[in-house]
Amino acid sequence: MDISNYIYLSAILFVIGAIGVVVRRNAIVVFMCVELMLNAANLAFVTFSRINGDLGGQIASFFTMVVAACEVVVGLAIIVTMYRSRRSASVDDASLLQR
Amino acid sequence: MTTRTDLVYLIALPLFSSAFLLLLGRIADKWGHFFATAISASTFGIGLYEFFAMRSRSGDSRAATQRIFEWISVGTFKVDASLLLDQLSICFVLLITGVGTLIHIYSIAYMSHDRDRRRFFAYLNLFIAAMLLLVLGDSYLNLYVGWEGVGLASYLLIGFWNERPAYATAAKKAFIANRVGDVGLSLAIMIAFTQFGSVTFSGVKDAAPHASSAALTALGAMLLLAAAGKSAQFPLQSWLGDAMAGPTPVSALIHAATMVTAGVYLITRSNFIFDASSTARLLVVIVGAITLLFGAIVGTAKDDIKKALAASTMSQIGYMILATGLGPVGYAFAIMHLLTHGFFKASMFLGAGSVMHGMNDEVNMRRYGGLGKVMPITAVTFGLGYLAIIGVPPFAGFYSKDKIIETAFNAGGVRGILLGGAALLGAAITAFYMTRVVVLTFTGQKRWADGTHPHESPSLMLIPIILLSVGSVASGFLLNKGNALVHWLAPVVNASGAEGGTELFKPIVVSALALGVVVLGVLTAVLKYRGTVPIEAPAGSPLTRFARRDLGQDDFNHRVLVLPGQAITKSLVGMDFHFVDGIVRAVGWVLSYTSASLKKVQNGYVRSYALLMTIGAIALLATIWLVTL
């Protein structure tokens, strides 16, 4: 199997994630789409690592996972707090920065 | 040339006193007027001392100089602040300090009810200092400082009662009209600097014979403009009538005896320029002749006693300017008339002030009448001044004015007849309007407003008037005795020693003619005004109404100068608003419109930020891809 197919898959996953971030309102779903984008990037790292025959890309994907784990901790806490205070997890309701 | 060290005190004393009284404030209210008067008297003392010191010297050593400090030093161009006291300056010094001191004394009583009397005396001393600097400066630049100083003092004193808007306006009018003349003087200084490289009187005098006639004529014309502004000569005469808004002692000192004669001083001082340019001389005599008739005609129509006297001042200074334009022979007569005029006009102005003092500040002569009985001393002194101004022998005006008329006739040819005729006509009109003033004020039936109780003024006011009227009786005879003044001034003004031109008439004929027209003028006025005088001025002929409006001088200035000036100002304001401000406003509008449009991007929706970020990232990638293609 051609190794470049992994790159295509990674790009498709990234685009799906990006579209999800832009079009979905539910904060949980938006969050999941962000995870999808991160993982698309991880896939690309690992693929490039394989193509180049060194471990740099794989190490980078570990870093990404660590960052993603931290992000999930902080992000979910924010979403839960937001839901408690406003009874809604819609990102469009949280538009106070405008004023 | 003699070098002296005490000339500077003439200026420093009153200047110091003025600053002292102004800075000290209300503490000095009780004694400020005495202090100022004492200072003024001491300058007169110094003046007398200098005069006798000068008389004891002889020949070239009579003129004295004093260098105070180096003022300007730019490359080869140097101007010292130095003083020059010569035969001409000393006449002025004595007139300014002498009449000035008498008017200080008079003002103590006249201004006794004014709560700002100290400020008034401080301004009077400021005037004395500036006027002395004007006549003592040894260069046009030093003279200019004094010239501006007297303008300032005049402005402050005309507007002394500036709580009345009309008076404040009169002060501004005088100041602005004077500024026009000042431009002439500054241009004259610039011409002198570029043409001769020097602005001292002696430097310009040495260089004048080698200068081009165009430069001399331009210089003369600019000096004449300056003189016209300061001396209320045609066409800058309109401020003098309104300047009567100031307290009467001011009118007597500044606007009759001294400051307004500064123009005559300037022309006499610059005699070397006018001697060298016949065109400039012609301009001078034209201005003088027009003004002497102009002032006299305006004087016939004025019911306000001070304005009638102001018109008369204008006319008399016209005589002096005319005399200065007649060449070397005229200068001494101009100065003689200036000195005698200083006496009799100051005496009459103070007399008018005395009348106003007794009449609750009424100035309308139609409200006077019969005052001779209740104010005998004022009436007699005013009468002596009156006899002097109309030129009845042996009073002062006879000697000085006769000489001018005679010299004007002797100017030769058609010019002589025209100028002499104008001077003679002026004398007749002078006799008419001065008789009118005296008849309306001191004789006839009482036309006083209800509740006025005229009384003779206090002796503090009468003594200066009496002394001045002695001067107006005797000064002409004394100055003319053995041609005393002519010989005295000869080293300054009559370098060539030239005598007058061909005699058109014998002096005795001129005197007889002058006396004849004076008698005619007096008789006309007596016949016209001896009966009942209506309190409301009758409508009068168109000419009378025209003369009442000052022969349309203000209308002319308004139409020809003020309205176009306002139009230019308005168009400049419009251009500033639409063009200059327009550009600035356009820049502001573009910025605010752009930011208002861009502001909509900041809507607070996370998803829209995410979309923008995505688009931005794509655009960035596309750019990199396109660049590296």
Query: Model ipTM?
Result: 0.86
Query: CB–CB of A92/B605 below 8 Å?
Result: yes
Rounded mean pLDDT, B348-358: 89
Band of the pLDDT at B23, cuts 50, 70, 90? very high
Rounded mean pLDDT, B368-379: 85
Give the C-alpha separation, B376 to B362, whole Å. 18
Q: What is the pLDDT of residue A17?
A: 94
Report the gap between the CA of A94 and the closest CA in chain B (Å). 7
Band of the pLDDT at A68, cuts 50, 70, 90? very high
Please report how many Cα atoms fall inside a 13 Å half-sphere around the Cα of residue A98, on the Cβ side.
13
Q: Tens digits of per-residue pLDDT, B421-459?
A: 898 899 999 999 999 888 888 888 888 888 788 888 888
Give the C-alpha separation, A99 to B280, whole Å. 80
Q: Number of CB pairs < 8 Å for A and B? A: 31
Give the C-alpha separation, B111 to B120, whole Å. 8
Rounded mean pLDDT, B174-203: 90
DSSP state, residue A90 = B
- Is domain A4-88 in CATH 1.10.287.3510, yes or no? yes
Contact A97 B611 (CB under 8 A): no
Contacts of B139 (CB under 8 A, 6+ apart): B79, B80, B82, B199, B200, B201, B203
Q: What is the pLDDT of residue B526?
A: 87
Q: Which of B603, B605, B613, B615 to mutate to test the interface with A (most CBs of A within 10 A)?
A: B605
Q: What is the pLDDT of residue B504?
A: 66
Query: Helices B606-628 and A4-23, interaxial angle, to 10°?
Result: 140
Q: Tens digits of per-residue pLDDT, B55-86?
A: 888 877 888 888 888 888 888 888 888 899 88
DSSP state, residue B198 = -
The enclosing H or E element of B449 equals: none
Which residues in chain B have their CB less than 8 angstroms from residue A21's CB? 607, 610, 614
Contact A95 B603 (CB under 8 A): yes
Give the C-alpha separation, A45 to B621, whole Å. 18
Give the C-alpha separation, A26 to A32, whole Å. 10
Q: What is the pLDDT of residue B185?
A: 93
Q: What is the pLDDT of residue A69?
A: 93
Structure tokens at B83: 């003083």
For chain B, the farthest-separated pair of C-alpha atoms sits apart, in whole angstroms, at 118
Q: What mean pLDDT, rounded, does chain B reach?
A: 87
pTM: 0.79
Give the C-alpha separation, B178 to B148, whole Å. 9
Residue A45 has pLDDT above 90, yes or no: yes
For chain A, the farthest-separated pair of C-alpha atoms sits apart, in whole angstroms, at 54
Q: Which of A13, A18, A50 is nearest to B612 (CA)?
A: A18
Look at B411 and B107; give whichever has higher pLDDT.
B107
Which residues in chain B have their CB less than 8 angstroms from residue A22's CB? 607, 610-611, 614
Q: What is the pLDDT of residue B413?
A: 77
Q: Domain map of chain B by residue range?
A: 2-541, 557-628
Q: What is the pLDDT of residue B586?
A: 95
Helix-strand-coil percent breakdown of chain B, rounded to 5? Answer: 75, 5, 20
* Total residues belonging to chain A: 99
Band of the pLDDT at A65, cuts 50, 70, 90? very high
Distance of alpha carbon B400 from the chain centroid: 21
Kindly tell me the sign of the dihedral angle through the C-alpha atoms of B575, B577, B579, B581: positive
Q: What is the pLDDT of residue B400?
A: 86
